[in-house]
Structure 1
Amino acid sequence: MNKAKKAKSGWVKTRKLFNDIHLWGGLISGIIVFVVCLTGTIYVYNTELREAALSSYYKVEKEGKKLPVDSLLSMVRPMISGKVTGIRIPFDETASYGVLYTKKKAGGEDGPSGIGSRDRERVAGEVVPKTSSTPAKAGSRGKGKDGEAHHQEGSASTGGEHKAPQGGGRRRSNQMMVNPYTGEALGDPAEEKTKTADFMQTMFGLHRWLLLNEIEGPIIEGIENRKLGSWITGTATLLFLLGVLTGLVIWFPNKIRSWKNGLKVKWSASWKRVNHDLHNTLGLYTWIFLFLMAVTGPFWSFEWYREGWQKAWGTHQSQQIEKGQKSEPLSRYTTGSSPMDIQETIAAVNVILPYDGDITINFPKDSVGTLSITKNRVGFFAPSASDKLVLDQYSGDVLEKDLFREKSIRNRIGSSIKALHIGDVYGPFTKLLYFISCLVATSLPVTGVLIWLNKMKKSRKEK
């Protein structure tokens, strides 16, 4: 009996310690967490809201058969002021195509070098490899709108952008939207300003920096306002993570028969009991999503956290350099070789990746360059991670492939940091779950403070 009493007494003390950590961590970070979670809830559907505001660019009427992609590109190319670098081909029959291009620099020069810049590397019909960086791979529709490491807003364009996961130097492409049935050029959505884009920009600024980046002049001498805001939100997120972990411990009841009470809301009880149940029950049901949001959030606030995460999951730059000590793949050019057209490229990709999905093709830079392909599955419960291919532009042979399903669990997690944070893991399904979970997270600081106030009132009455 004494052992049982000691065990119970020990659990009570442990539970009180976790409860105190949960309480004070929540009170300190409550307002910041409320703002971050509220803006995060809205930002879950950033891409969808932006495209809805510019639906005339992204949606078309289905009119018979689509034009051949090569013919379509020939029709649109004269309307584009810049160098065409690729094309995005959605699976959706009512979606417009996106022709990727880089605008001309001052003086009328295009961005990348032109055809034939590496012809000198050919010797007797063979290509002498040389060490270089891997060709840039385009993002897919709705992916990669963000210029900085997390999801810093860039242009209003959604999709077709070349960027490094941690804000590397890949070129950001514009895209001319095209009606695949008529060949009509619909325009570049990046040139269009909307109130929705401005609103989402504000939501992002609040979520990421509490809008401190909008203040001119440093608030604290020697610290950039953007960095200060990032540190504040990052610290609040760490406290929220602590609250999520301690909350799970606090939820566990002393007796097994009391579990049912922790799994439901007693709506017929007083408002105090309903508020308490909402805090406990909703927090439990969304726990795993709250944990994923909280554990990934500080990645974009603290260098030490980002470096630790990357090293833990094998995505640190030093680890990638060790893995990638190899020459850039090049197409085998021989005299008279004719590159594949776009339709042939699509057919080759669908043989290698035989599933329904959106395809983005980056064209070769020159006569020995390669085709860089990205394909994303479509569907309500489709994994959002891209499969990537590098093909010989003449034969269609696979020179490199990066298939998500073939990666280890460690590499999948390490390369999915942003998807895990914003819910873009299994398409619309996980986005909906994250949207609901974000709403719950927004309510937790409110219900938690009410619980604390009620306990304070009760304590005063007892005294």
Structure 2
Amino acid sequence: MKKTAPYSFRKLMNDIHLWLGLASGIILFLVCLSGTILTFEHEIKDFFADDFIVEKTPNKETISGLVTALKVADMGFVTGVTIAADEEEPYVFNVKKDLKERRGSKVLVNPFSSEIQTVKKTSADAFLLSMFKLHRWLLLDIKIGRPIVGVATIIFLIISLSGIVLWFPKKLKWRNIKQGFKIKTKANWKRINHDLHNTLGFYACIFLIIMGVTGLCWSFEGYKDGLGNLIGAEIFNRSSPKFDLEKNPGNKVISVDEAIEIANKTLAYKGDLSVTFPTKKSNYYSFRKTNEANFSPVTSDRLYVALSGEILAADYFKDKPLNVQFASLIKPIHTGDIYGLFSKIIYFLVCLIATSLPVTGTIIWINKMKKTKKVK
């Protein structure tokens, strides 16, 4: 009588990889597909947006003058502006019809001609919003879809780790290991499909684990807080510092243009500058500036200027502790914005591979089932 082979650790990893993959395949396919598209979300929006040409002239309007022009045009309450480093780019003003609005809308203004153009929603915006909802909660109600995506992400992490174990051959010889680094394009389609799953999955695995570990911060509040406690820094910390602004010598109040001049002298480098105007809650100017020479296009320095012109605080990204830097970069690490176009291309390819893995894995399983039936 033929002896049954013992249930090995490798067999356990194979079963975990197989059955969890089959159980979550369709969800992971949808999440990864939408993630692939969202990698170039901003580029897609810019491509379909209306053109707004800015020609540089000797006469340049002040920010105060442009704010007045927006008020005259009945655009609403102006809450801030972003000034690009490139002088031939329009200013992007944030406006709200009602101050209770969370984000408001954007208005483009030519700083040389005072021409105003409202940023209109396009079909691309509607499509990308659908992709965002699909990626985050499968187009379901948030309370239902978010935990489903979260559980699928945990499963994906387990699949990825078990996949690394299965990638290594039973006999750890270099001749066997190096086969896992390449795809035999001259083999039959079944072998090519196997190599696409095995080899591409191995190359993409480290990035997929990074995406999964960071992505769970949006699915589970407890996980986000736990990860923040682990690294010793709050994740998604959007709070602003509090200052004692009761004393204002001489009741001096500077204009927004003067405040911007102070910001550019303090943050003396080339880069995009965003200004948040004073409010009743935060009665000071808040600046965020991105240094074009930085390793990452998403790292920025913060500056806070009182209405009197006094610099309240300067918060430089490079001076922050590493754990605080990491916590503030969770989102760009997850989306691929961390190194600009270079990392976006890598993430796009990785997400494309991740989208294919449930398909190639299912085909491998079907082929094995057919083979088993033939043997029987």
Give the TM-score, by structure 2 length.
0.87
- Structure 1 residue 379 displacement after superposition: 7.8
Pick the aligned partner of 2:34 from 35, 39, 62: 39
Matched, 1:309 2:212: no
- Structure 1 residue 338 displacement after superposition: 4.6
Matched, 1:69 2:62: yes
Question: Which residue of 2 is the match for residue 361 of structure 1?
Answer: 275
- The question of whether the paired residues in 2 share the 8 Å contact of 1:348 and 1:396 is answered with no
Give structure 2 stretches of 5+ with no counterpart: none
Q: Residue 286 of structure 1 aligns to a residue in which SS?
A: helix
Distance 1:281 1:455 in 2: 19
Change (3 A) 1:75 1:33: same
- The question of whether the paired residues in 2 share the 8 Å contact of 1:100 and 1:176 is answered with yes
Distance 1:61 1:272 in 2: 55
- Structure 1 residue 227 displacement after superposition: 1.5
Q: What does 1:367-406 correspond to in 2, within 5 Å?
A: 369-378=283-292, 382-397=296-311, 399-406=312-319
Pick the aligned partner of 1:272 from 158, 174, 190: 190
Distance 2:133 2:143 in 1: 12
- Structure 1 residue 440 displacement after superposition: 0.7
Distance 1:361 1:281 in 2: 47
Distance 1:36 1:320 in 2: 26
Question: Which residue of 2 is the match for residue 180 of structure 1?
Answer: 111
Question: Which residue of 2 is the match for residue 79 of structure 1?
Answer: 73
Q: What does 1:18-417 correspond to in 2, within 5 Å?
A: 18-56=13-51, 59-65=52-58, 67-70=60-63, 71-104=65-98, 111=99, 171-187=102-118, 189=119, 192-213=120-141, 226-253=142-169, 254-316=172-234, 327-330=242-245, 333-335=248-250, 337-342=252-257, 344-365=258-279, 369-378=283-292, 382-397=296-311, 399-417=312-330
Give the TM-score, by structure 1 length.
0.72
Point out the more displaced range, 373-382 or 441-450: 373-382
RMSD (Å) for aligned C-alpha atoms:
3.0
Deviations 1:423-463 (Å, cap 9, x if unpaired)? 12122222221111111110011111111222222223333
Q: Residue 159 of structure 2 aligns to a residue in which SS?
A: helix
Change (3 A) 1:93 1:428: farther
Pick the aligned partner of 1:446 from 323, 339, 359: 359
Amino acid at match of 2:301: D
- The question of whether the paired residues in 2 share the 8 Å contact of 1:331 and 1:369 is answered with no
Amino acid at match of 2:243: E
- Structure 1 residue 384 displacement after superposition: 0.8
- The question of whether the paired residues in 2 share the 8 Å contact of 1:36 and 1:206 is answered with yes
Deviations 1:352-393 (Å, cap 9, x if unpaired)? 333332111122337x93210011244896331332111234
- The question of whether the paired residues in 2 share the 8 Å contact of 1:251 and 1:262 is answered with yes
Amino acid at match of 2:353: V
- The question of whether the paired residues in 1 share the 8 Å contact of 2:138 and 2:145 is answered with yes
- Structure 1 residue 243 displacement after superposition: 0.9
Give structure 1 stretches of 5+ with no counterpart: 1-8, 105-110, 113-169, 214-225
- Structure 1 residue 336 displacement after superposition: 5.9
Number of residue equivalences: 368
Amino acid at match of 1:238: I
Distance 1:409 1:272 in 2: 47
- Structure 1 residue 31 displacement after superposition: 0.7
Pick the aligned partner of 1:456 from 358, 369, 372: 369
